[in-house]
Amino acid sequence: MDTAGSAATQTAVKAASEVVTERAVARHRKDVMKRYLTTAEVAERYRTSPATIRYWRYAGTGPQCFIRRGRHVLYDAEALDKYDADEIGGRCAA
């Protein structure tokens, strides 16, 4: 009887740990996705159109802190902050 109870307990513990792991993975994905912005979100941030952001990417001007995930292009929000600071710093020094 103890063996059956022990096996049931182990199964329950394993199931609970899988749920916790799935939640942790989902939370991590959500945090990672907050870190990246889409082309449309970057366009909104710079008050321009998504076509302009795509052109900047093509021409090699503007923020170059993007990654490609299949057909998707994502921009690192922290790198955009650094790009903004560098741009402002360069203009103030001139």
* DSSP bridge partners of 69: 72
Exposed, middle or buried: residue 5 (CB in 10 Å: 0-12, 13-18, 19+)? exposed
16-44 pLDDT, tens digit per residue, is 666 667 776 666 566 655 689 999 999 99
CA angle 53, 56, 61 (to 5 degrees): 140
Question: What number of residues does the chain have?
Answer: 94
**Global pTM value:** 0.61
CA separation for the pair 86, 1 (Å, rounded)? 69
Determine the pLDDT at residue 79. 93
pLDDT band with cut points at 50, 70 and 90 for residue 73: very high
pLDDT band with cut points at 50, 70 and 90 for residue 94: very low
6-18 pLDDT, tens digit per residue, is 776 777 666 666 6
